[in-house]
Structure 1
Amino acid sequence: MDQAQWAQTEIALLPTEQIALRPSVQQKSLSHMPLETLAASMAREGLREPILVRAAAQGYMIVEGNRRLMACRMLGWREIPARVQPKDVSDMTSVGEIFAALRARPMGYLDRAEATNRLTADFGVPRAAIAQQTGDSAAHVLSLQRIATLDDRTRDILRQERLPERVAEALTRVVDAESRQRIALRTAKERLDIREVELFVEAANRRLPGAKHSGKVVSAVRDARPYLNALREVVAQMNEAGLPVRFDEAQEDGGMTLTIRCRTRRRRSQP
């Protein structure tokens, strides 16, 4: 959610019992801070930042701040300050309503992706017509619709960690959902740039059965860190798959020596 959207949301004191966690958020939390620690901090200092919700058919649905809401309930608080977004795209029931929302208010790319995808999937509106009505290019509309088809967990990470649209675009090229989620979390944790994300995407796809090289020529770069990170990711994936691999890095004057060791299967001797 960008600053323009944030400024246009209303702040209200909402009953905690009327706010529902998103189902995919309930399955696994993105934060490593124990909930009890967060609750203790809130008990001492109060809630520093309102949560973000959107109006639902019944009550409200959490967008950002699920752990703050859970900590609030743990403390027995009956109300919580919240910023309220306008009606969700998924609750809109007509082509005109969705187009009006796309034109009338600023949207984050995830909401825009859901809106453009609904226009085609639910109402049969061609991408060319969407592009004409919204001012987007047909290629951008297609990219947004691909983002809309990402799994719920990946979209939750993108939203809560506020990762940029280019990262989401790169993740649409990863076939395996678990790999997408791992790359998204690593991008947020290590603040990877798009170049590094692209390398992790390529590494994830190469380990899939039947994967083929793209044949693209990659231009030379002066910074070796993206390639080192990609190597570390491949080694980690091999170890996770049960193939013991050792990766040694030795600093030397003016450079590094990288050594990768793995066992090869010995051929059985002929009788």
Structure 2
Amino acid sequence: MTEVKEIEISKIEEPKEALRSYFTQEALEELKESIAREGLLQPLLVRPVGDKYEIVAGHRRFIAIKELGWEKVPCIVKEMDDTETLIKRIHENIKREDIDPVDLAEIIHKLYDRGGYTFK
């Protein structure tokens, strides 16, 4: 069973490698309205990094929550290395909405550079 943990906003860091180079202010405002109205329907996925946590999935939700003034956020905490983190981010972003082709190319290049992945 997956455990959801409430983590202070100040202990959560934005991703070292954000997958999207941009998103619109309008989309962020819509997300903020949804969270304010319905609450956070899906916890963030984070990984421990030192005494803090890095966002793996939920970067835009995190930005919306910060702007709404929340002090804590529900998170699923999972140990994972950099490659697994990048793969989870790819999966999360591709299934949600179209990703910019340039952003996708940069992601694929990062996986290739890390080894163990080929273009087949």
TM-score range for the pair, normalised by the shorter chain length? 0.5 to 0.7
Does the CA-based 8 Å contact 2:48-2:54 persist in structure 1?
A: yes
Residue 71 in 1 paired to residue 64 in 2? yes
Residue 36 in 1 paired to residue 29 in 2? yes
Question: SS at 2:64's partner residue?
Answer: helix
Instruction: State the partner residue of 1:206.
Output: none
Q: How much does 1:158 deviate?
A: 2.1
2:63 & 2:92 partners in 1: Cα distance? 16
The one-letter code sitting in structure 1 at the alignment partner of 2:6 is L
The one-letter code sitting in structure 2 at the alignment partner of 1:89 is D
Aligned CA-pair RMSD: 3.5
Q: How much does 1:78 deviate?
A: 0.4
In our comparison, the structure showing a higher alpha carbon Rg is: 1
Q: Which residue of 147, 159, 162 maps to 2:91? A: 159
Judged with a 3 Å threshold, the aligned counterparts in structure 2 of structure 1 residues 179 and 70 are, in CA distance, closer, same or farther, namely closer
Residue 57 in 1 paired to residue 19 in 2? no
Q: How much does 1:50 deviate?
A: 0.8
Q: Percent identity?
A: 27
Residue 10 in 1 paired to residue 3 in 2? yes
Structure 1 gap segments, 5+ residues each: 1-6, 91-109, 115-151, 164-176, 185-200, 202-271
2:19 & 2:94 partners in 1: Cα distance? 19
Q: Which residue of 16, 20, 37 maps to 1:23? A: 16
1:63 & 1:21 partners in 2: Cα distance? 9
Q: How much does 1:26 deviate?
A: 7.7
1:156 & 1:32 partners in 2: Cα distance? 24
Judged with a 3 Å threshold, the aligned counterparts in structure 2 of structure 1 residues 45 and 25 are, in CA distance, closer, same or farther, namely same
The one-letter code sitting in structure 2 at the alignment partner of 1:46 is G
The one-letter code sitting in structure 2 at the alignment partner of 1:47 is L
* Deviation readout 1:9-63 (Å, 9 max, x if unpaired): 4210010111111132186246896111101111111111111101111310001
- Give the TM-score of the pair, scaled to structure 1: 0.32
Structure 2 gap segments, 5+ residues each: 96-100, 109-118
Instruction: State the partner residue of 1:170.
Output: none
Judged with a 3 Å threshold, the aligned counterparts in structure 2 of structure 1 residues 23 and 46 are, in CA distance, closer, same or farther, namely same
Structure 1 segments (4+ residues) deviating >3 Å: 29-33, 177-180
Judged with a 3 Å threshold, the aligned counterparts in structure 2 of structure 1 residues 157 and 12 are, in CA distance, closer, same or farther, namely closer
- Give the TM-score of the pair, scaled to structure 2: 0.67
Higher helix share: 1
Higher strand share: 2
Residue 46 in 1 paired to residue 39 in 2? yes
